[in-house]
Amino acid sequence: MAAYSSYEFMRVTFPSVYVAHLEINRPLKLNAFSRPVWLEFGSVFRQLGDDSDVRVVVLSGAGDRAFTAGLDVTAANSEGPLSGEGAGDLDPARKAKALRGHIEEFQGCISQMERCEKPVVCVLHAVSLGLAIDIACCADIRLAAADARFAVKEVDIGLAADIGTLARLPKIVGSTSWVKDVCMSARDFSAEEALQVGFVSQVHEDKARTVQAALDTASRLAEKSPVAVQGTKELLNYGRENSTAAALRYTAVWNSVALQAGDVPSALMSVFSKKKPTFEKL
């Protein structure tokens, strides 16, 4: 845990073996993201990805008021891409280069969560606006507390969401009529509605119970072969993005080495012996 003690806005705890619980930890600001927050967010996921003592990550907001209220608009207004700060009398093409740089840095930090090879279980609760959806789209499994209040809020501050929601949401929820409705209208939607369209796959009574459900799921995943679980994540992401023919070939190449792990004999033996298998670190 000491390894994760230097972050200011990210709190990491280890509620059970191989399970890390990451909290966005800026509750007084409703866990809103200024630039230092998203830089830490990228770093902590890089570190969790490299840490062979971590097999599953549970992500939530700290406190009861918000998963995250999204972009810290006040900060954005006084620094960075939206403030025009330093842009002075640059022409639009030169401003665009700076803006592109800012957006890609921001995207890169959030995408680090998707690139992390371990499963990430995301607990959405209370205020879950704007960037909350970009982040949730990078998770593998999404759970919501009944009090979650969602909105793809960006249109209401005059912009199209650019940190990942529009790139990923049409691929991870089945009904594009619903996707376009919520993205273009910026209207609120509830946990119940999120469940119905398949954006989240479970809803629980309150934050505490949702976190508990996420930790239970995480513990079960952490007991499985990490070669199998991480391979499954990689291959599902590949399958979503590529043609079936390409995905079948990639799968064969990937598994041609994964099957040489010790995990298959361990798991098979445990099936026959009915004893719980243990798996080497990965």
Q: Name the segment binding its own copies (CB under 8 A); options: 11-19, 26-34, 39-47, 192-200.
A: 192-200
Binder to its own copies among 253, 273, 274, 276 (CB under 8 A)? 253
Q: Which residues within the stretch 69-98 sit at the binding site for its own copies (CB under 8 A)?
A: 73, 77, 81-82, 90-97
Binder to its own copies among 29, 149, 168, 209 (CB under 8 A)? 168
**Residue 176 interacting with its own copies (CB under 8 A):** yes
Output the six-digit token pair for 110.
């959030």
Number of residues counted as binding its own copies (CB under 8 A):
110
Which string of DSSP letters, residue by residue, matches the chain? Answer: -GGGTT-SSEEEEEEETTEEEEEE--GGGTT-B-HHHHHHHHHHHHHHHH-TT-SEEEEEESSSSEEE--B-HHHHHHSSTTTTTTTTT--HHHHHHHHHHHHHHHHHHHHHHHHSSS-EEEEE-BEEETHHHHHHHT-SEEEEETT-EEE-GGGGGTS---SSHHHHHHHHSS-HHHHHHHHHH---EEHHHHHHHTSSSEEESSHHHHHHHHHHHHHHHHHS-HHHHHHHHHHHHHHHHS-HHHHHHHHHHHHHHHTTSTHHHHHHHHHHH-PPP-----
**Residue 166 interacting with its own copies (CB under 8 A):** yes
CB of 139 to its own copies, least distance (A): 8
Q: Name the segment binding its own copies (CB under 8 A); options: 4-12, 24-32, 61-69, 106-114.
A: 106-114
Give the residue with the Cβ less far from its own copies, 67 or 199: 199
Binder to its own copies among 16, 51, 167, 209 (CB under 8 A)? 167
Token pair 């949730």 in the structure block, residue: 136
Give the residue with the Cβ less far from its own copies, 23 or 140: 140
Q: Name the segment binding its own copies (CB under 8 A); options: 11-19, 33-41, 61-69, 242-250.
A: 242-250
Which string of DSSP letters, residue by residue, matches 24-73? Answer: E--GGGTT-B-HHHHHHHHHHHHHHHH-TT-SEEEEEESSSSEEE--B-H
Q: Which residues within the stretch 197-226 sit at the binding site for its own copies (CB under 8 A)?
A: 197-201, 217, 220-221, 224-225
CB of 23 to its own copies, least distance (A): 20
Q: Name the segment binding its own copies (CB under 8 A); options: 16-24, 32-40, 125-133, 265-273.
A: 265-273
Give the residue with the Cβ less far from its own copies, 1 or 93: 93
Q: Which residues within the stretch 109-128 sit at the binding site for its own copies (CB under 8 A)?
A: 111, 114, 119
**Residue 39 interacting with its own copies (CB under 8 A):** no
Output the six-digit token pair for 166.
């529009």
CB of 8 to its own copies, least distance (A): 25
Q: Name the segment binding its own copies (CB under 8 A); options: 16-24, 25-33, 37-45, 246-254.
A: 246-254
CB of 261 to its own copies, least distance (A): 3
